[in-house]
Amino acid sequence: MLDSADKAVNQGVAPVTYGQGERPPRGDYASARADYTGEQRWSDYTPQEHDLYRRLYERQASQLPGLACDEFIEAVEHLGHPAQIPRFDELSEKLHRATTWEVVAVPGLIPEEAFFALLAQRKFPVTRWLRTPEEFDYIVEPDVFHDLFGHVPLLFNPVFADYMQAYGAGGLKASRLDACELLARLYWYTVEFGLIATPQGVRAYGAGVLSSAGELQHSVRSPEPSRVHFDLQRIMRTRYKIDSYQATYFVIDSFDQLFAATAPDFTPIYRAVREQPEIEAGAVLPGEPLVGVDCAGA
């Protein structure tokens, strides 16, 4: 059997992913290094790809006011002029100056252990390829637009940047404790689909919502989903959907709250969570207070 260190090493082929799709996994794993990083090969992007990136960027940027948190809106400027797919090396230089993070190119989805190891080194893996024009509205796998537009702006925020590194280190530990599924729920409901309460109302900070044409509006404004106050064990117990808008979002009060709540050793927390029943996506527990969309913490 492979131990977890071996599993983190690129063997030149795409990792096995859950679920099935029409499309084979994209990405050139053969030319990536052992840690799955490789060259962005910026000059290989076509004018049509730069133009598709610009259209994705402009559609998303126009939706941010009133829906994205201020920290994201301020930081999205760092991605530079949207006329072209950013050069990862230039972006890394800026990011390194701000929070000592950098972005590294990867062929696509990579195994959990490899992903955690990069985050723990303050390296954010960004898929090098862009979706096809047919995927303008919806894409199953993360591409360069999701990874850059969704994830990179908040890496300029010092508290969120530290949270991401702590998550990586925590992931390596969770692999040893066989707790990756529980920890993945935390990533999903914070880094990908997190909401934050502000004096102006609920806003988005999760990359999955911020890079989605339809879900950004839905997550912040729709009366359909349940919006639950951030609670670590509640999140680890909650299943999630990968092929539709989320039925539950979790709302933090601040990035400081998120960082502090996830700082303790998770070893006893994983044990406590395993003793409790799982919660279906969208379910609300008896007596559980929900967050209203218009006012912070209501």
Query: Which positions touch ligand PHE (CB under 6 A)?
Result: 163, 166-167, 170, 173, 186, 262-266
Q: CA 194, CA 240: separation in Å to the nearest integer?
A: 13
Closest among 251, 237, 230 to 280, alpha carbons compared? 237
Q: Per the residue annotation, which of 192, 212, 215, 226 is the catalytic one? A: 192
- Residue 264 interacts with which of Co ion, ligand PHE, none, CB < 5 to 8 Å by class: ligand PHE
Closest among 7, 193, 155, 162 to 75, alpha carbons compared? 155
Residue 153, amino acid: P
Active site includes 218? no
Q: Per the residue annotation, which of 175, 211, 219, 226 is the catalytic one? A: 211
Q: Per the residue annotation, which of 151, 175, 212, 215 is the catalytic one? A: 151
Q: CA 90, CA 51: separation in Å to the nearest integer?
A: 20
Q: At what angle do helices 88-99 and 158-176 cross, to 10 degrees?
A: 100
- Residue 263 interacts with which of ligand PHE, Co ion, none, CB < 5 to 8 Å by class: ligand PHE
- Residue 207 interacts with which of Co ion, ligand PHE, none, CB < 5 to 8 Å by class: Co ion
Q: Per the residue annotation, which of 49, 71, 112, 146 is the catalytic one? A: 146
Min dist. Cβ of residue 281 to ligand PHE (A): 21
Min dist. Cβ of residue 89 to ligand PHE (A): 28
Closest among 44, 98, 48, 46 to 75, alpha carbons compared? 98
- Residue 167 interacts with which of Co ion, ligand PHE, none, CB < 5 to 8 Å by class: ligand PHE
HSE value, Cβ hemisphere, 13 Å, CA-based, for 265: 4
169 vs 247 by CB, closer to ligand PHE: 169
Active site includes 96? no
Q: Enter the tokens of residue 209.
A: 């919502």
Active site includes 151? yes
Binding footprint of Co ion, residue count (CB under 5 A)? 2
Q: Where is 127: in which H helix or E strand?
A: strand 123-127
Active site includes 211? yes
Considering only 110, 144, 182, 207, the residue that binds Co ion (CB under 5 A) is 207
Question: Is 195 near Co ion (CB under 5 A)?
Answer: no
Contact 165, 120 (CB under 8 A): yes
Counting every residue, how long is the chain? Answer: 298
- Residue 265 interacts with which of Co ion, ligand PHE, none, CB < 5 to 8 Å by class: ligand PHE
Q: What residue number has its CB nearest to Co ion?
A: 207
The burial class, CB within 10 Å (0-12 / 13-18 / 19+), for 221 is: middle
Residues assigned a catalytic role: 146, 151, 192, 211
Give residues in contact with Co ion (CB under 5 A).
142, 207
